[in-house]
Chain A
Amino acid sequence: MIKFEQVSKTYPGGQRALSKVNFHIEPGEMAFLTGHSGAGKSTLLKLISIMERPTVGRVLINGHDLNSISRRQIAYIRRDIGMIFQSHQLLMDKTVFDNVALPLVIEGYTHKETTKRVHAALEMVGLRDKARNLPIMLSGGEQQRVGIARAVVNKPPLLLADEPTGNLDPKLSMEIVRLFEDFNQAGVSVFIATHDLGLIARMKYRTLTLKNGQMITDGLTDANGEGWS
């Protein structure tokens, strides 16, 4: 589903964020990406959602080389990727319903279809009764779930999450991860970047580890990881 081939990323100014990263995540897989702050997790996710372009190497999604995607096509690529952020990226002056409906409005769905899908997505994250609320009236965990509902409302085959549990306590974090498990069981590939090791330890999922921009384990050769503490 996601394949990195000898990917390096150097930011203007010479800061080397990733160097020669290789890995492959199969369709339908759920995997974690971990590492210290500044190890390159966010950069790696940005290369998948084409917020950044690799300096060297190739990133492939479902066998398609993202280097061949033009600037104009990026919008269409992002419709295939559900993205979840630590900072939620919700529109604070729009209701929960409008926030979740945004991807569908952009894709031109009819009002009827939009309403149906938004309610289904909110139902999945347990926020059906909060549709008319503004995000500001919700708790941190609820806001994160609105973000998740928005990411899955157009049923993308791939979910990316950048520190989705960053501001949440362990119990809420677990609830969020359970949600991801549900989507994964429905066939969606899920790739989660987090530095919450306690959370990962309780799971048995594949874990890829970055250190100083290099992938020190891709979670296949050694199930426990090599410990970067």
Chain B
Amino acid sequence: MSLLFKGRPQGASDARIGTVQTIMAFFISHLRQALGSLGELWRQPAASIMTVGVLGLSITLPSTLYIMVKNTEKISAGWEQASEISLFLKESTSEASAQQLLTRLNTWPEIDTVTFIPADDALKEFQHLSGLGDAIAYLESNPLPDVVLVAPVEKHATPQAAQMLLDKLKQQREVDIGKLDIEWLERLYAVLDIIRDLVTLIGGLLFIAVVLIIGNTIRLNILNKRDEIMVMKLVGATDAFIHRPFLYTGFWYGLLGGLIAWVAVILILWWMDSSIQAFAALYQKDFAITGLSGSALFTMLGLSVLLGLVGSLISVQRHVREIEPK
């Protein structure tokens, strides 16, 4: 309805067409603008590819790092419960007192199994496995201590509980050194935490960069269309109407960039697969790398589209307003 002239029909809503047709016209107009924006990208392939490429690669880096962290977590998750405590007994400990210790430990409710490895057995095993062979025979005395391997029951196998058990075991007078096999796992987790923070940080910085790049690209588009925007304002276009094609451009940048990132991640994983297999073989683990799941893919595409939209939104809000007919 006209603001100045009561009763003067204005626009589709007053042009004596039905609600359904009005809604249809709205969607057709949107579709036309969306396709128009895509067509414009198509007509300037060099500039579009560069913008889309920057966006795609900026999303590829954090996505790949994210997959690495996820996979490392997956591998290590299988090892967490395998914690085992090694107790190295004092050299002065006699066989009899070692046996006493074993009997005592067997009564502890936290402990599942206790295995005693006498120093002699340990030496034989070392001789066998190390390949030093006869060289060891020249040793005057056995340098290895007796070892007791303690496997906690499942309830006490978590890192914290196992640590408490270790502290208790260390207080036994026969024990010289106690070592929890889970310590390295805790360090790994600490490192993973740092890497995860880094992924977030790098991702955040890259996302800000993407928003700025898209914003600047859209700003140049707006300046290129200065005359057209001016004419549109003269014949009564609202800001929202003028914004729309630019927002669609941002949307397409985001979507195409996201697809590029997706392809890039797949290629990187494929390329790294063989080295990861070799690495996993060293640990005698059968391990298949997990790629992007369906939901992660949609998150990535969604994020990319969001970045494109935010960049263009910031740009149109600032720059379309500045263009006024003179």
Measured CB to CB, the closest approach of chain B to A207, in angstroms, equals 25
**Contact B8 A150, beta carbon cutoff 8 Å:** no
Contact with B along A55-81 (1 / 0, CB 8 A): 000000110100001001101111110
- In the complex, what residues of A have CB within 8 A of residue B28's CB? 111
Q: Which of B2, B8, B228, B237 contacts A91 (CB 8 A)?
A: B228
- Tell me which residues across on chain B come within 8 A of A76, comparing CB atoms: 2-3, 10, 236, 238
Q: Which of A14-22, A100-108, A169-177, A211-219 forms contacts with chain B?
A: A100-108
Q: Is B35 in the interface zone, CB < 8 Å from A?
A: no
CB contacts (< 8 Å) of B232 on chain A: these are 102, 106
Known A-B contacts A51-B324, A107-B11, A109-B11; the reply to A77 vs B4 at CB < 8 A is: yes
* Residue pair A108, B231 in contact (C-beta under 8 Å): no
B26 touches A108 (CB 8 A): yes
A113 close to B (CB within 8 Å): yes
Q: Which chain B residue shows the least CB distance to A64?
A: B4
The total of interchain contacts (Cβ-Cβ below 8 angstroms) comes to 91
Residue in B22, B234, B324 whose beta carbon sits within 8 Å of that of A83 in the complex: B234
| Chain B residues near A80 (CB-CB < 8 A) | 2-5, 8, 10
Contact B12 A106 (CB under 8 A): no
Within 8 A of A (CB), among B291-326: 324-326
B179 at the interface (CB under 8 A from A): no
Contact of B91 with A by CB under 8 A: no
Interface size on A, residues (CB 8 A): 31
Q: Say whether B12 contacts A108, CB under 8 Å.
A: yes
| Min distance, Cβ B31 to any Cβ of chain A, angstroms | 12
Nearest-CB distance from B59 to chain A (Å)? 34
Indicate whether B15 reaches chain A with its CB closer than 8 angstroms.
yes
Q: Counting CB contacts under 8 A, is B103 at the interface?
A: no
Complex Cα distance, B235 from A77, in Å, reads 10
Q: Which residues of B contact A61 (CB under 8 A)?
A: 4
Q: A157: which of B3, B8, B239, B324 is its contact (CB, 8 Å)? A: B8
Question: How would residues 132 to 171 of chain B score, 1 for a CB under 8 Å from any chain A CB and 0 otherwise?
Answer: 0000000000000000000000000000000000000000
Let me know if B227 and A109 touch, CB within 8 A: no
Interface residues in chain B, defined as those with a beta carbon under 8 Å from any beta carbon in chain A: 2-5, 8, 10-13, 15, 17, 21-22, 25-26, 28-29, 227-228, 230-239, 241, 324-326
What 5 A-B pairs come out closest when comparing CB atoms?
A108-B12, A79-B236, A107-B11, A78-B236, A75-B238
A-B contact pairs, 18 of them (CB 8 A): A49-B234, A61-B4, A62-B5, A72-B238, A75-B233, A75-B239, A76-B3, A76-B238, A78-B233, A79-B2, A79-B235, A80-B4, A107-B12, A108-B11, A108-B29, A109-B25, A110-B25, A111-B28
